[in-house]
Amino acid sequence: MTGKPYDFNRKALSQLPHMAAEPLYGPWEQVVRGYKQFCAMAAAVRLRIFDHLVELRQPMDLADQLNADPKMITDLCDLLADMELLVRYQDGFLVSALSRTYLCSDSAWFQEEVIKNIFSGFGLWQQLDRICIEGPVKVDEADFFENNLIDSLASEILTGELQQTVAAVTRQPEFAAAQRMLDLGGGHGLYAMALAAQKQDLEAIVYDFNPVEKDFKRYKEKFKANGVRFVAGNLFADDLGNGFDLVLFSYNPGGKNERILEKIHQCLNPGGLFVTKHALYREAEAAKSTLLDIEWQLTAFRGVAKGRNVYAFEQDLSEEAYMERLQQDFEIIETIDAKEFATPPLAKFGDRLDSIIIISRKR
Ligand X SMILES: C[S@@+](CC[C@H](N)C(=O)[O-])C[C@H]1O[C@@H](n2cnc3c(N)ncnc32)[C@H](O)[C@@H]1O
The binding site for ligand X (CB under 6 A) comprises 141-142, 145, 150, 153, 157, 185-187, 208-209, 212, 234-236, 250-253
Nearer to ligand X, 99 or 257 (CB): 257
DSSP for 332-353?
EEEEEEGGGTPPPP-SSTT--T
Which of 32, 31, 33, 5 is closest to 18 using CA atoms? Answer: 5
CB of 214 to ligand X, least distance (A): 12
Nearer to ligand X, 175 or 341 (CB): 341
What is residue 231's three-state secondary structure?
strand
Residue 328 C-beta-side C-alpha neighbours within 13 Å: 9
CB of 303 to ligand X, least distance (A): 8
CB of 236 to ligand X, least distance (A): 5
CB of 319 to ligand X, least distance (A): 19
Nearer to ligand X, 186 or 272 (CB): 186
> Which string of b and e fits 241-262 if b means at least 16 CB within 10 Å?
eeebbbbbbbbbbbbbbeebbe
Nearer to ligand X, 49 or 154 (CB): 154
Which of 192, 193, 167, 209 is closest to 246 using CA atoms? Answer: 192
Nearer to ligand X, 142 or 197 (CB): 142
Nearer to ligand X, 234 or 318 (CB): 234
Query: How many angstroms separate the CA atoms of 114 and 190, rounded?
Result: 16
CB of 122 to ligand X, least distance (A): 20
CB of 145 to ligand X, least distance (A): 4
Residue 221 C-beta-side C-alpha neighbours within 13 Å: 6
Strands lying side by side in the sheet with 180-184: 228-232, 203-208, 180-184, 244-250, 268-278, 356-362, 330-337
